[in-house]
Amino acid sequence: MNTLAVVGLQWGDEGKGKIVDLLSLQHDVIVRCQGGSNAGHTVVVNSEKYALHLVPSGILTPGKINVVANGVVIDPVALVEEIGNLRSRGVEVGENLLISDRAHVVFPYHKLLDRAQDAKRSGSDKIGTTGRGIGPAYADKYSRSGFRIGDLLDRGFIEKALLPRIEEKNFLLREYFGADEISAEETLAEVAKAAEALRPHVTDTAVVLRRFIAQDRKILFEGAQGALLDIDHGTYPYVTSSNTTAAGIPAGTGLPPAAVTNVLGVLKAYTTRVGAGPLPTELEDETGERLRESGAEYGATTGRPRRCGWFDAVVARHSVALNGCTGIALTKIDVLDGFETIKVATAYDLDGQTTRDMPASASAVERCVPLYEEVPGWKEDTSGIREWKDLPARTREYIARIEDLAGCRISMVSVGRERTAIITREGK
Ligand code: IMP
């Protein structure tokens, strides 16, 4: 068995899309296992920029099979639109896209409730979600009141089953949120139409994936979001509603745990976060602004400016351990070009005690003061470098320090947006 999972080790936006796009060249099948259209995977191919949300990044490589597996929550309307946009740009989307009949559906009411819920919350209660209906859709899945893609294709069933659900959602929207009600007929018409357009792609993807494994085809699992947004191990409640670590892959695909053989964690050379929640190394000053501008740190899904800060090794260690990483891809090292010195948080001071582990509660993480080590920066422009040996000595020292602190080998270094802007490090 030869599979690879590519997962985010921070708060998402580590540059997984680019790494998956690149690695998809060496794989046959690319699989999304969790999350939904909250994800924004930016991929640049031949100077063309694509922002993918639900479709796996492998779609940009002809000849690859792309699977949206059962753990993903699918907004059929958004997916049809995304497919349409890709096709209009000449990207083939046909038999190369498979969608699980067990994946849960994000309905328009999930999006309304997501936005109404976050708008009603005040101050530190706000999560700052992407508004894509992710939380309410997963909540319905786990409270056993959701619908799956397969249900949507059974018109007789869904026509009857959706009505009581819409009544319940309308009660909430009207009575609790003081919002407008939604029409059952319009909801059904809109979503069922989109589902029909998806019908040719819908199948039992678990069976298909098992067959691919038996045929020894190379499978790449494309993670969405990052470990610190994991529903169990992230900075709860400021997280997304799925398991974003490699542990989410078996449940999200129907494959056994042993099907995940290699895990490549993606780490950005500094830290960013969108939305609310603790971010110990956040810089609300000129340095943070410099990282945001030179790293173009604006959300691919919502366009929100990302909060920026120095690299946090407590986060990296936590995430490497959770994912059982067998390697790391370090991205955006070029954004650090020209800094006189660079800081790295190696531990936190929490209420007078030094801790190297990520505390469970968000309020404790909020109180953490990063303990920094300062390393010399480099003056050179690294964006044109393609060989490990050509990197400035100080860049290599910075990378070695991160590797040391994270406890895992860095096997790839990304120095720009293009597929070709990558340094692959030989050896073990
Ligand atoms: P939700 O996933 O839309 O419910 O949002 C919950 C939190 O996860 C918010 O802080 C979002 O900004 C964050 N989030 C969700 N998806 C992504 C992503 O793909 N990249 C970065 N942050 C994300």
Tokens of 107: 């309905």
The region, left, alpha or beta by phi > 0 then psi within -120 to 50, assigned to residue 291 is alpha
Is 225's C-beta closer than 6 angstroms to any atom of ligand 1? yes
Q: Coil, strand, or helix at residue 422?
A: strand
DSSP code of residue 261:
-
Q: Is cis: bond before 237, omega within 30 of 0?
A: yes
DSSP code of residue 405:
H
Strand partners, 370: 348
Tokens of 45: 């191919």
| Closest to 294 (Cα-Cα) out of 272, 277, 323 | 272
User: In angstroms, what is the span from residue 179 Cα to ligand 1's centroid?
Assistant: 24
Closest C-alpha to ligand 1, atom 2? 240
Global pTM? 0.96
> Considering only the top CATH level, what class is 267-424?
alpha beta
User: In angstroms, what is the span from residue 58 Cα to ligand 1's centroid?
Assistant: 22
Strand partners, 148: 104
Closest C-alpha to ligand 1, atom 20? 12
User: In angstroms, what is the span from residue 364 Cα to ligand 1's centroid?
Assistant: 21
pLDDT at 299: 86
| DSSP secondary structure, 4-52, as one string | EEEEESSSS-SSHHHHHHHHGGG-SEEEE-S--TT--EEEEETTEEEEE
pLDDT at 428: 65
Structural domain boundaries in the chain? 3-100+203-263, 104-197, 267-424
| pLDDT digits (tens), the chain, 428 positions | 789 999 999 999 999 989 998 999 999 999 999 999 999 888 888 888 998 999 999 999 999 999 999 999 999 999 999 999 999 999 999 999 999 999 999 999 999 999 999 999 988 899 999 999 999 999 999 999 999 999 999 999 999 999 999 999 999 999 999 999 999 999 999 999 999 999 999 999 999 999 999 999 999 999 999 999 999 999 999 999 999 999 999 999 999 999 999 999 999 999 999 999 999 999 999 999 999 999 999 987 788 899 999 999 999 999 999 999 999 999 999 999 999 999 999 999 999 999 999 999 999 999 999 999 999 999 999 999 999 999 999 999 999 999 999 999 999 999 998 889 999 998 76
User: In angstroms, what is the span from residue 157 Cα to ligand 1's centroid?
Assistant: 32
Closest C-alpha to ligand 1, atom 19? 39
Closest C-alpha to ligand 1, atom 5? 129
Is 129's C-beta closer than 6 angstroms to any atom of ligand 1? yes
DSSP code of residue 172:
I
Task: Kindly tell me the burial class for residue 242, based on how many C-beta atoms sit within 10 Å of its own C-beta (0-12, 13-18, 19 or more).
Answer: buried
Q: For residue 114, give the ligand 1 atom closest to its CA.
A: 4
Render pLDDT for 282-336 as a digit per residue (tens, 0 to 9). 999 999 999 999 999 998 778 889 999 999 999 999 999 999 999 999 999 999 9
Please state, as a whole number, how many other Cβ atoms lie within 10 Å of the Cβ of residue 420: 12
Is 280's C-beta closer than 6 angstroms to any atom of ligand 1? no
Domain 104-197 has CATH 1.10.300.10: yes
Residues sharing a CB contact under 8 Å with residue 105, sequence separation 6 or more, in sequence order: 73, 74, 75, 76, 137, 146, 147, 148, 149, 151, 152, 191, 195
pLDDT at 2: 84
Q: For residue 8, give the ligand 1 atom closest to its CA.
A: 20
Asked if 244 and 224 touch (Cβ cutoff 8 Å), the reply is yes
Domain 3-100+203-263 has CATH 3.40.50.150: no
Angstrom distance (rounded) from CA 301 to CA 19:
18
Angstrom distance (rounded) from CA 80 to CA 55:
10
Q: Which residue blocks in 200-245 are alpha helix, DSSP H?
A: 205-214
Residues sharing a CB contact under 8 Å with residue 256, sequence separation 6 or more, in sequence order: 250
Strand partners, 345: 312, 372
Is 42's C-beta closer than 6 angstroms to any atom of ligand 1? no
Is 130's C-beta closer than 6 angstroms to any atom of ligand 1? yes
Tokens of 267: 């780490």
Strand partners, 3: 219
Is 305's C-beta closer than 6 angstroms to any atom of ligand 1? no
Residues sharing a CB contact under 8 Å with residue 5, sequence separation 6 or more, in sequence order: 220, 221, 223, 246, 249, 260, 262, 263, 264, 323
104-197 has the same fold as 3-100+203-263: no
